[in-house]
Amino acid sequence: MTTLLVKNIAVLATFDNARRELRDAAMLIRDNVIERIGSAAELADSPADRTLDLAGHIVMPGMVNTHHHMYQNLTRVMVQDDELFVWLKTLYPVWSRLDDAAIYASARVAMAELILSGCTTSSDHLYVLPNNSRVDSEIEAAQAIGIRFHAARGAMSRGESQGGLPPDSCVENEDAILRDSERLILAYHDPARHSMRRIVLAPCSPFSVTPGLMKEAAALARSHPGVRLHSHLAEELDEETYCESIYGMRSVAFAESVGWLGDDVWFAHAIFMNDDEIRRFAETGTGVAHCPSANMRCGQGIAKIRQMLDIGVPVGLGVDGSASNDTSNMFLEARLAQLLQRVAPARYLSEAPGGRGGFGGTPTALSAREALTMATRGGARLLGRDDIGHLAPGMSADFIAIDMRQLAFAGTQRDPLAALIMCGPFRVDYSYINGREIVAKGALQSADLGELLARHDEAMHRVYAA
């Protein structure tokens, strides 16, 4: 067993149940678990094998990314100005040329970018698996780079010939999907506390799978402890039109009809939901991965996050795919989550006296701490984790540190925690995941960035040339 004393922390934002923010603090870590938290003076005499002096740094829990498509790193800044369905149909043919090497290379680059922007746990929704590709490639990438990982085995089974959106070249046989899903669970899923690897079952969307697959996936997941369910829902008005045309009901009603509401389910986006549907999410504990960058980039709309939080819907943050967001930066996502809620139309002013026009928002719609809570505790809840998302004795040793002795922090001494959102985005100076040092002095320790980028460039050119 080894111990690490993290001392002289200028500001320690624990996000624990009491939301303590400690000045001149310290943490004692034993192996991969936090053992003590307190003032620097209280822990000064704690014996430790190693010490880390974080004078001048702000420390907080590592952030949790709850929705991503890492393979999309290969197709960044493509289809910049089209709506979602056009965007998808343009990119499907490119993605149909993916292989295991491309999936591995793109995952490592995405994970490196996430880690350097404060993420210590990530899920990934891999739903395009052509050319005998396997989710195993992403799992291997996560193990190599050291990120805590929830691999979401996505799938598309309803191609164009069956009335779905994706081309038939991108879909799989449903029996094969279910067999592979069970294989992944048995091979990789670890439901224990502090586990580094879990499996999620994640049929892609209402317009790319059948109701039968949704039902079978839910039954399979619920037959194994800790296996959760994830998909896209209410992301686009075209999806709503599709569900009403094909199923005779709205997206949320469709999800409920196939057994996909519950506290083991979270959906990405959830923009186009009415009050009754939001209330139903709260009643069932169904979660939402809010992806503000992608929603703005694709011109989709503004999810009702303030309303969701107020009535108890579990909400986390997701960076979404690197081709629908074009970056994988958790600090940026938290910042945009705060700002987007503040400009959400609270009232329409075009009819107001004097004809001012425009939409009116409110600066109290979402605070910096609420945005960071979604990025930490909120994400942990969506993934079903009771061991990450805040810093306290017994929690996993997943934390990040940012040096406040830099330009963006000038003048922020009264509230450096809010500055992480309002003055950034920042890169981390230190990141520890499961007690292991992954970033030190701003440099990734678990991989060579030059080698990652070279392999990624090679994969990108191969996929485009195929």
C-alpha–C-alpha distance, residues 10 and 12, integer Å:
7
User: What would you measure as the largest C-alpha separation in the chain, in angstroms?
Assistant: 71
pLDDT at 82: 65
Total number of domains in the chain: 1
- Angle among Cα 395, 396, 400 to the nearest 5 degrees reads 110
| Residue 426 in domain | yes
| Residue 19 in domain | yes
pLDDT at 351: 45
pLDDT at 23: 97
pLDDT at 357: 52
pLDDT at 147: 98
Residue (of 22, 33, 31, 28) closest to 60 by Cα position: 22
pLDDT, one tens digit for every residue, the chain (466 residues) = 899 999 999 999 999 999 999 999 999 999 999 999 999 999 999 999 999 999 999 999 999 999 999 998 888 877 677 676 777 778 888 888 889 999 999 999 999 999 999 999 999 999 999 888 999 999 999 999 999 999 999 999 987 787 777 777 778 999 999 999 999 999 999 999 999 999 999 999 888 899 999 999 999 999 999 999 999 999 888 888 989 999 999 999 999 999 999 999 999 999 999 999 999 999 999 999 999 998 888 788 899 999 999 999 999 999 997 777 888 999 999 999 999 999 887 654 444 445 455 556 788 899 999 999 999 999 999 999 999 999 999 999 999 999 999 999 999 999 999 999 999 899 999 999 999 999 999 999 999 999 999 999 999 888 887 6
3-class DSSP string for 127-152: CCCCCCCCCHHHHHHHHHHCCEEEEE
pLDDT at 158: 84
| Residue 69 in domain | no
**The CATH number of the domain where 37 resides is what?**
2.30.40.10
- Residue 440 lies in domain: 3-62+387-444
pTM: 0.95
Contacts for 81-88: CB closer than 8 Å, 24+ residues apart: 83/236, 83/238, 83/298, 83/299, 84/235, 84/236, 84/238, 84/298, 84/300, 85/165, 85/236, 85/238, 87/298, 87/324, 88/165, 88/166
| Residue 272 in domain | no
| Residue 330 in domain | no
From residue 116, alpha-carbon distances to 93, 95, 331 in Å are 31, 26, 10
| Residue 123 in domain | no
| Residue 400 in domain | yes
pLDDT at 301: 86
| Residue 281 in domain | no
pLDDT at 78: 73
